Structure 1
Amino acid sequence: MRVITLIFMILAFMIGGACAGVLFKNIENRMDGNDYSVVEKAQKQIDELKQAGIDVTKIDDPQAKASLELLEKVPPKWKVDYAGPLGMLVAFLAFVMVIVAFMKKEFIIKLSIIVGILGLLLWIISPDIPGGKYSGINPKTLSLIAFVGIAISSVCAFMSYKLYLKKTIVIA
């Protein structure tokens, strides 16, 4: 039974770890080199209009409408900055978890819980960037696939250690 959980752990890691690892490049490709200085200028312009008492949703100025569309389209900077490195960290920790699961160490219990929580956090903070005509998968969807794979891998690693303990208790 432990062998089956290890096989599922490896398969789930291959899917989840790959998706978490490429999330950084996916987000970078989706941003199309958009610099946040443009976003900051648009936010400043909208704030100035609001301070002047103008309702920005009902204004006919095309530049203000373009600024509003840009602010709606571009995700927050912190999501773009942190989601990619967190994805690489989750992929690395999941790889370490797979190795430790084969070593039959008690540390796997804590590590599998940490990896599962970090996978969930990755999915929560991933930006939802819509794609263009020829672009690939949305980063939010990619992080969801990564989370499911990492969660299954974590559960299998946890269970493989519990099955190992059960086997040693039965033998003893």
Structure 2
Amino acid sequence: MRALTLVIMILAFLVGGTCAGILFKNIENRMGTDGDSEKTEEVYRLVDNAQKEIEKLKKQGIDVTKVEDPQIQESLELIESTPPKWKVDYAGKLGILAAVFALVMLVVAFMKKALVTKLSLVVVAVSVLLWISTPDIEAGTFSGANPKSIATIALVGLIVASACAFMSYKLHLKKLQATS
């Protein structure tokens, strides 16, 4: 039975860990920055300028949702379609962290150490944080899958891997008690 849980753990890790690990690249593709930090900063400079422009118009008493000006509508669309900067910055890093913790958990599960129970909880917690912090970016022309969908697959895969690692250790303890 322990062998079955280890096999399921490995398969779930391969799916969940891969999705978590590649999430940062997917977010970069969706943002259109391709990993270039200068492009990312430029996008957020444009968003800041658009927000300042909209705030000026609101202070003047103009209802920006009813204005027919294409520049204002473009600014509103830019603000709406761009995820918060903290989500873009932290989602990729959390994905890599989740994949690394899951790999360590996998190794510790094969070593039959008690640390696997704590690591499985850490992997679940980091996976949930990853899912929460991942931005839901609208599809572009060449953007691939939605980052939130990839984070959901990673969440499910890593939770299954954590549960299997936990159960593997508990089955090992049960076997030790039975032989004693």
Matched, 1:108 2:88: no
Which sections of structure 2, spanning at least 5 residues, go unmatched? 34-39
Q: Which moved more, 1:139-148 or 1:123-132?
A: 123-132
The answer on whether the counterparts of 2:26 and 2:143 sit within 8 Å (CA) in structure 1 is no
Q: Residue by residue, what CA displacement relative to the aligned partner does 1:84-107 show, whole Å, maximum 9, x if unpaired?
A: 010000000000000000111111
Kindly provide the amino acid, as one letter, of the partner of residue 12 in structure 2: A
RMSD: 0.9
Does structure 1 conserve the Cα–Cα contact (< 8 Å) formed by 2:135 and 2:148?
A: yes
Q: Map Cα deviations across residues 77-130 of structure 1 (whole Å, 9 max, x no partner).
A: 110010001000000000000000011111111110110111111111101112
- Paired residue for 1:154, among 159, 162, 175? 162
- Distance in 1 between residues matched to 2:7 and 2:52, nearest whole Å: 53
CA-CA distance at 1:133 after TM superposition: 3.1
* Other-structure match for 1:31: 31
Instruction: Classify the secondary structure of the residue corresponding to 1:58.
Output: coil
Could you list the per-position Cα deviations for residues 118-172 of structure 1 after superposition, in whole angstroms to 9, with x for gaps in the alignment? Answer: 1111111101112223331110000100111100000000000010111111111
TM-score (norm 2): 0.93
Counterparts of 1:97 and 1:8, CA distance in 2: 14
Q: The residue matched to 1:128 in structure 2 has which SS?
A: coil
Mind listing any 5+ residue stretches in structure 1 that lack a counterpart? none
The 10-residue stretch of structure 1 (81-90 or 59-68) with the greater mean CA deviation from structure 2: 59-68
CA distance in 1, matches of 2:58, 2:165: 53
SS of corresponding position for 2:109: helix
Deviations 1:39-82 (A, max 9, x none): 11011111111111211111122211111011111111110010
Aligned pairs, how many?
172
Runs of 4+ in 1 over 3 A off after TM superposition: none
SS at match of 2:94: helix
Identity score, percent:
59
